[in-house]
Each structure stands twice: as C-alpha cells, then as structure tokens.
A and B are shown apart, each in its own frame.
Chain A
C-alpha cells in the first residue's frame, strides 16, 4: 500500500516540476518616476518588460531547468519501476527503490541551489530610486512542493529492513529435507530385517 502511495508521490513531484517549468521563478516590478519596468526569470530564461510594454528576452539565460527536468524524468522512471516491482527480479526492484531516492535527491540539490539564487535576487534592495517589488515566483513554490512530494514518495517506497528475530529458548536448525540425514531409530543404521523389538532392551 505504502509502495503505491510512494510511487504516486514520485509522480506528483514530477508533475509539479512540469507545472513549474512554464512559470516564473522570480518576478520584479520596478516603478520609477511613472515608468514601469519588469523582470521575470524562469527555469529556461529571463525577460524584460520595458516601460512601453515591449517584452524582450534576456541574453544568455541560465538554463536552470536542465538538472530539474532530468530529475523529473528519473522520478517518473523510478515510479514506474517501483509499481512494476512484482514483475522485476529482486535486484532490479532494489535498484528501483534506490533510484527513487537518488532522483528525489537530485531534485532537492538543484532546487535548493536555485533557491539560494532566488533568495538573493528577492532580497536585493540596492536600487535607491523608485519602488521595487520583487518576489519569488510561483515556480519556486511549486519546485519546493515537488521536492517535498518526491522525498516523501522516495521514503514510502522503501522496504522496512527486516530485523533479525532474536531466538528465544532452544535454537533449532531445520536441515533440508533429506531422508539420509534422518537419524535411524536405533541411532545407527541397522538393516530393516533386524526388528526393533529383538534388539531393544525392555
């Protein structure tokens, strides 16, 4: 049950990344002596809005989306493998569970680093004239939610480690079913014709 919920978490994380990829990571609106300019940054590029309302794409944008999208693809692959676990050999199933953790962590590492940048941009208040309104965009929050969903999902698809049960009382090892290993009635192998009654002292 927790495996299915976990796989849904992994898929949900990937879906949130897709939703975030077309939204702004960071937005800034600056009003200076009646002129309104805007700056938007997304996972794939940035754009400026001039006072005339003309939108121009920024030069050489940072493609933050690359590691994030790779992580989302890995999340989907891991979720599919975890769901098909029963049809996979034990090794592949274990690898899929480890892969789910790896994909969620890749997302976390890249989103956190992008977050470090967005935090600084949103805090920047070195512009002295006019009013500046800068804020983290909706994509940033979606990415944080995606990390949460993916990490919880990765945790849920893990198997609880089997703890060795401490033996109580007598330790009995069961030998493989092999009649040759059974102790004969007399303790030593005696031909069946020699009856037990004759040889046993009463």
Chain B
C-alpha cells in the first residue's frame, strides 16, 4: 500500500513537472512608451502585447526545460522499475535522488525569478515581474515527487529480517529408501 502510493506520487511528480515546464514560469511587463509583456516558460518566450517579433512564440535562450524533462523521465523510470526483481534497488536509488535533482533545478529557477522580482521594489520600476502558474506547479511537483521518493524507500526492519514462516511447519525428509512404507 505504502509503496504503491509512493509509485503513484513519483508518476504524478513527473507529469506535474512536464506540465509546469510548459506553463509560464513568470510574466514580465515593460513600462516603456509602448506596452510590452512577456511570458517565459522553461522552453520558450511568448509576447503578449507590443511590437511583434518574427514569431509570436520563440525559443527561450535558456532551456531550463532540459534538466526538468530529464528529471521527469528518470522519475518515470524509477516508478516503472520499482517492482522489478533485479533493478528494484536501482529504482529506489533513483527515487531517493531524482526528486532532489528536481528541487535543485526548480530552486535555481526560483533564484533567477527572485532576482528579477527584486526590481519591483524600486520606486519607479521599468520592469514588473510576477510569478506564473508554471513556477507554482513545479513547486508542487517537487513536493509530490519528494513524498513519493520517501514512501518507496524500504525501512531497514523489513530489509534485514527474513520472513517468519506462518502456519504449520512441514519438514521434508530426504528421499531415502529407509522411509518408504512397507506394504
């Protein structure tokens, strides 16, 4: 039950990561002569108003999405191999690490956002930055994946002790002629 819940949490974390990476991480509004607004996702930048660039949506210079997508992929791998006899331990290793890798990536993006948001506090800011839905979803993805990673770990008591036999214990004697019934 515990590990099944963990497995679903790992998968949910992966889905939330991919969704969060596609949604805007933050909005930036420039207060210039003409209004200009940007939405930045982990993969691209979208202009909302203002002078149109070559295309409405263009590739963001910094591809934060790559480490996020890799983390999501590894979370799925961990969930898939959790029940595997041979790779179960590898899956638990991934489940312990990958959620923190996700946290590291999201935290770094958050540091970038915090730097941009600092400008808001000035008396007359030119650029106003506000967090987007993607940033929140990525934060939730981190928490969900972390919970999953903890739930699928084995408690050492389960690991060390061999299961006690239940019910009647049957001794099987070696097949030898001495024990054959005399008819």
A51 within 8 Å of B by Cβ? no
Whether the pair B108, A67 counts as a contact (CB closer than 8 A) is yes
Chain A residues, Cβ within 8 Å of B173: 170
* Of A16-24, A109-117, A128-136, the one with at least 4 CB within 8 A of chain B: A109-117
For the complex, give the distance between the alpha carbons of A173 and B157 in Å. 20
Contact present for A106 and B104 (CB under 8 Å): yes
Q: Which residues of A contact B118 (CB under 8 A)?
A: 60
Q: How far is B93's CA from A62's CA once the two chains are assembled, in angstroms?
A: 32
Q: Does B112 contact A (CB under 8 A)?
A: yes
Docked pose: A117 CA to B156 CA in angstroms: 41
Binds B, one of A1-9, A95-103, A186-194: A95-103
Give the chain A neighbours of B156 by CB distance below 8 A. 90-91, 93-94
A-contact bits for B91-116, CB 8 A (1 contact / 0 none): 00100111111111111110110110
A10 at the binding interface (Cβ < 8 Å): no
Q: Can you list, as one digit per residue, whether each of B70-102 has a CB less than 8 Å from chain A (1) or not (0)?
A: 010000000000000000110001001111111
Interface size on B, residues (CB 8 A): 43
Q: Closest chain B residue to A91 by CB distance?
A: B156
Nearest-Cβ distance from residue A117 to partner chain B, whole angstroms? 5
Given contacts A98-B153, A171-B172, whether A113 and B100 have CB atoms under 8 Å apart is no
A residues near B114, Cβ cutoff 8 Å: 62-63
Q: Is A120 an interface residue (CB 8 A)?
A: yes
- Distance in angstroms between the alpha carbons of A175 and B54 in the assembled complex: 79
| Contact pick for A106, options B101, B154, B160, CB 8 Å | B101
Expressed in whole angstroms, the minimum distance between the Cβ of B93 and any Cβ of chain A is: 6
Q: A111 CA to B105 CA in the complex, in Å?
A: 8
Q: Does B8 contact A (CB under 8 A)?
A: no
Cα separation A110 to B71 with both chains bound (whole Å): 12
Number of interface residues of A (CB under 8 A): 43
Pick the contact of B67 from A63, A116, A169, A170 — CB < 8 Å? A116
CB within 8 Å of B: which of A61-103?
61-64, 66-67, 71, 90-91, 93-94, 98, 101-103
The answer to whether A112 touches B105 (Cβ under 8 A) is: yes
In angstroms, Cα B118 to Cα A112, docked, is 24
Which residues of chain B have C-beta atoms less than 8 A from A170's C-beta?
172-174
Q: Give the chain A neighbours of B89 by CB distance below 8 A.
A: 158, 160-161
Assess whether A110 is in contact with B107, with CB atoms less than 8 Å apart. yes
* Contact residues in B for A158 (Cβ distance below 8 Å): 89, 93
For A98, the chain B residues whose CB sits under 8 A away are: 96, 153
Residue of B nearest to A158 (CB): B93
Q: Assess whether B172 is in contact with A67, with CB atoms less than 8 Å apart.
A: no
B-side residues, CB < 8 A to A, are: 61-64, 66-67, 71, 88-89, 93, 96-109, 111-112, 114-115, 118-119, 153-157, 159-160, 165, 169, 171-174
